[in-house]
Structure 1
Amino acid sequence: MSTTSDRQALVIGASRGLGLVLAGELARRGWRVIATTRQDSGELRADADASKGRLEIESLEMTSPEELSALRERLGGRRLDLLFVNAAVDRGDLPIHEVPTDMFTEVMVTNALSPLRALEALRGLVAPGGTVAVMSSEQGSISRNTEDGYELYKASKAALNQLMRSYTTRHADDGHTKLLIDPGHNRTRLGGPDAPLDPQESIPAVVDVLEAQTGAPGLQFLDLNGETVPW
């Protein structure tokens, strides 16, 4: 593992919301951070300009295997202590039988398939003892699905969790810590203005969890307090 001052992280999906705050918090703690964005982000650019070189920006459309491959080539000489994939879309609160097929495909590709493609494309950059993490949600917990609503989003996060379990099974001996993170319900474009949590408060707690779990074996599904979320 790298020394504290040389820790490197790649945050996929950092143009806004939780990913933006995550990249900034890591840089604030002394990590060297590579943050990806689909399109130019003024906030991310401002954070990079103020970071004294600790935060750099890469362009990536995560749903594109070709762009993932190109990013892997550009970062070929890097060694990461943390690879964190943050990506999700929500297309409203339709019951599943009313969801158009193209909407179903879009949400599943973005929320479940593409994060695992990203891990597979980039995992070779993660140093022995490093961490591979994905932003999940309590909404993906089957046992906690006891209230109506957001059926497609819930299904996509449950699919993400299952695929991460399969990923862990295939790569059980790679020495990487593997985490699914539930950051709680935050006031973001996705979470809405009435959500109870402020990302500026919840994301530092998430980073505490990431740092505390370094070197832990297997796969864990944890919330921002480090507590296990039931599958």
Structure 2
Amino acid sequence: MSTTSQSDRAALIIGASRGLGLVLADELARRGWRVIATTRRSSGELQASADAWNGRLKVESLEMTSPEQLTALRERLEGCPLDLLFVNAAIDRGNLPIHEVSTEMFTEVMTTNALSPLRALEALRGLVAPGGTVAVMSSDQGSISRNTEGGYELYKASKAALNQLMRSYATRHADDGHTKLLIDPGHNQTQLGGPDAPLVPQESIPAVVDVLEAQSGAPGLQFLDRHGKTVPW
């Protein structure tokens, strides 16, 4: 387990301009973490939150799909050890059956939802202190065994691919001493989840942070929901 004191815990949140990532950054800061939060473009909400936390929450610019920008961020954060690296990024291009999905759409969604999060982990994992945690926002939509209802085939496939790639990552880095988590936050009212979702981030994200803190130091890879229960692969 990380020996960092609670008041000195540091987190890097990739994808925090809005929705779940924004609330996650704010909740960690509220609990005393020092937080670095990234956004692709200027975010009034994230900057307002950073201003309110008087230096506890800092904003960095990052286009996660750019390997060059990942490398540049890694260089800017050199010497800033992290207790938590959390990648939160996903897009959805509608509820199309897979045969109606264009090659361009398939490539865009898979690149953003599956490939880029793992690139981010690989680029930034060296910043994570011994006993620290690397985590990715997943979804039970990526659970193959739970895929018993129709719809959103591309999104589901991208999250299943993310989960599989995270398994490969965990296997390859099995001895690095990092806790590795895939997190299902539930169906939330965000731009991605829609206005009719049963949860709001202000309810689900504190529970997610409870899980992150409770699992600190745990070995191996786990796929957990916001209650800390295992999500089936």
Aligning the two structures, in what range does the TM-score lie when normalised by the shorter sequence? Answer: over 0.9
> How far apart in 2 are the matches of 1:27 and 1:52?
10
Where does residue 180 of structure 2 map in the other structure? 178
Where does residue 101 of structure 2 map in the other structure? 99
1:53 Cα offset (Å): 1.1
Among all aligned residue pairs of Structure 1 and Structure 2, give the percentage whose two residues are the same amino acid: 85
Where does residue 43 of structure 1 map in the other structure? 45
Q: Which runs of 5+ in 1 are unaligned?
A: none
5 Å-filtered alignment, 1:53-72, equals 53-72=55-74
5 Å-filtered alignment, 1:25-174, equals 25-174=27-176
> How far apart in 1 are the matches of 2:154 and 2:51?
38
> How far apart in 1 are the matches of 2:219 and 2:79?
26
Q: Partner amino acid for 1:216?
A: A
Where does residue 24 of structure 1 map in the other structure? 26
Post-superposition CA distance 1:190-210 (Å, at most 9, x none): 000000001001000000000
> How far apart in 1 are the matches of 2:215 and 2:202?
21
5 Å-filtered alignment, 1:206-225, equals 206-225=208-227
Post-superposition CA distance 1:41-73 (Å, at most 9, x none): 000000000002110000000000000000000
Under a length normalisation based on structure 1, what TM-score does the superposition of the two structures give? 1.00
> How far apart in 2 are the matches of 1:198 and 1:36?
21
Q: Partner amino acid for 1:193?
A: P
* Secondary structure class of the residue paired with 1:5: helix
> How far apart in 1 are the matches of 2:42 and 2:22?
13
Where does residue 230 of structure 1 map in the other structure? 232
* Secondary structure class of the residue paired with 1:145: coil
* Secondary structure class of the residue paired with 1:58: strand
Where does residue 201 of structure 1 map in the other structure? 203
What RMSD, in angstroms, separates the aligned Cα atoms of the two structures? Answer: 0.3
* Secondary structure class of the residue paired with 2:59: strand
> How far apart in 2 are the matches of 1:220 and 1:77?
28
> How far apart in 1 are the matches of 2:215 and 2:198?
26
> How far apart in 2 are the matches of 1:10 and 1:209?
17
Q: Partner amino acid for 2:61?
A: S
| Aligned length, in residue pairs | 231
> How far apart in 1 are the matches of 2:56 and 2:215?
23
> How far apart in 1 are the matches of 2:48 and 2:13?
16
> How far apart in 1 are the matches of 2:190 and 2:100?
26
Q: Partner amino acid for 2:118?
A: L
Which 4+ residue blocks in structure 1 deviate beyond 3 angstroms? none
* Secondary structure class of the residue paired with 2:115: helix
Q: Partner amino acid for 2:97?
A: P
